[in-house]
Amino acid sequence: MDDAALGFDPPALEGDLRDPGPDEGPALRPFTVDMPGPKPSLPEPLVDEPEPVRVLNRVHDLEQLGRRLDAIQVLRQAVQDAPAEVDLLLHLARLLEAAGEGEEALETLDAGLQATGGAVALRVQRGAFLGRLGRYTEAEADLRTAIGTAPDGLDALLHLGLSYLRRGKQSDAIPLLQRAAELAPDHPETVFLLGEAWYHAGQLERAERTLLRATELAPNDSRAYKLLGRLLDRIGRTEEAMVMHRKAREAGMS
């Protein structure tokens, strides 16, 4: 049973995994094509491109033009034609979630898992999405299954570790995030989440070292500075904490 079902709130975290790409823009942006003036055109596809690559390139171009709804329609048709094409399924589910179509996003991932016999990438994305919805038991089941199939899958380790962190289960999160850090020692998100796990576990010296490393890897990310400020306040190093709080504000404005 989830902690939320028992009436407990998860611990406050500095943030979830960062979205790998920017939002495509407001929902009304597709209608800019009806405005006066020259209309942007899409490049002609290369004739020797495989069909999934051609589709994803077209979708990328549509997203760059702010035409998310058109991109979703292209992907819906492509998935209908190739229901087991993992990259198309992943991208469609991401766009649907970004557009607020969560139910269809889950249906897309469910259908893809059935069509592919349980592709690991689809299971990881489904687990991550369920975690963002607060459906932790289902999310963790998916992510544990993915890790059982691919033990060194970085995304699965990170999302399962984050799910445990959200539920205050630092002792379960830390081994997963340590393994992720071994696999990707220079990955900013991995290092930050491990530092946050150490912090919530009360391992403040380890947390400080890890969070300082996170600021080196991602100097424009305010979260590590903010958490370092809280940590230094907690142990009475007030002047150093003030420096970190200032850097957090500066990073937030950059």
User: pLDDT confidence of 29, banded at 50, 70, 90?
Assistant: very low
Tell if the pTM clears 0.85, that is, is over it: no
Q: How many domains does the chain have?
A: 2
What CATH number has the domain bearing residue 228?
A: 1.25.40.10
Same domain, residue pair 81 and 163? yes
Same domain, residue pair 135 and 26? yes
Domain containing 207 equals 185-254
Residue 173 lies in a domain: no
Residue 123 lies in a domain: yes
Q: What percent of the chain has pLDDT over 70?
A: 81
Cα 148 to Cα 123, 143, 151, 170, distances in angstroms: 12, 9, 6, 21
All residues at 6 or more sequence positions from 2 whose CB lies less than 8 Å from its CB, including other chains? 134, 135, 136, 137, 167
Residue 176 lies in a domain: no
Lowest mean pLDDT among 28-37, 46-55, 75-84, 167-176: 28-37
pLDDT score of 8: 39
Side-chain-side CA neighbours of 87 within 13 Å: the count stands at 10
Q: Is the pLDDT of residue 187 over 90?
A: yes
Average of per-residue pLDDT values in the chain: 87
